[in-house]
Amino acid sequence: MFRRGQLCAVFLLMLFAIPARAQNDEDKKQPTDAQKASDTQKTTETGDTVKKAATDDPNYIIGPQDVVDISVWKEPELSRNVPVRPDGKITLPLLNDVQAAGLTPGQLAAAITEGLKKFETAPQVTVIVATIKSQRFYILGESGKPGAYDLLPNMTVLQAISSGGGFTQFAKRTKIYVLRQENGKQVKYPFNYKEVIAGKNVEQNIIIKAGDTIVVP
Residues 161 and 204: beta-carbon distance below 8 Å: no
Per the model's pLDDT, the better-predicted residue between 39 and 83 turns out to be 83
Beta bridge partners of 72: 125
User: What number is the average pLDDT over the span 17-40?
Assistant: 45
Domain ranges for the chain, please list them: 4-45, 67-131, 136-216
H/E segment holding residue 45: helix 33-45
CA-closest candidate to residue 143, choices 211, 191, 91: 191
User: What number is the average pLDDT over the span 121-147?
Assistant: 94
Q: Which of 18-22, 71-75, 143-147 has the lowest mean pLDDT?
A: 18-22
Residues 204 and 175: beta-carbon distance below 8 Å: no
Tens digit of each residue's pLDDT (9 = 90 or more) over 49-105: 344 557 778 888 999 999 999 999 999 999 999 999 999 999 999 999 999 999 999
- Tell me the CATH number of domain 136-216, given options 3.40.1350.10, 3.10.560.10, 3.40.190.10, 3.40.50.700: 3.10.560.10
CATH superfamily of 67-131: wza like domain (3.30.1950.10)
Tens digit of each residue's pLDDT (9 = 90 or more) over 150-199: 888 889 999 999 999 999 999 999 999 999 999 989 999 999 999 999 99
pLDDT computed for residue 44 by the predictor: 35
> Percent of the chain, pLDDT > 90?
65
pLDDT computed for residue 9 by the predictor: 52
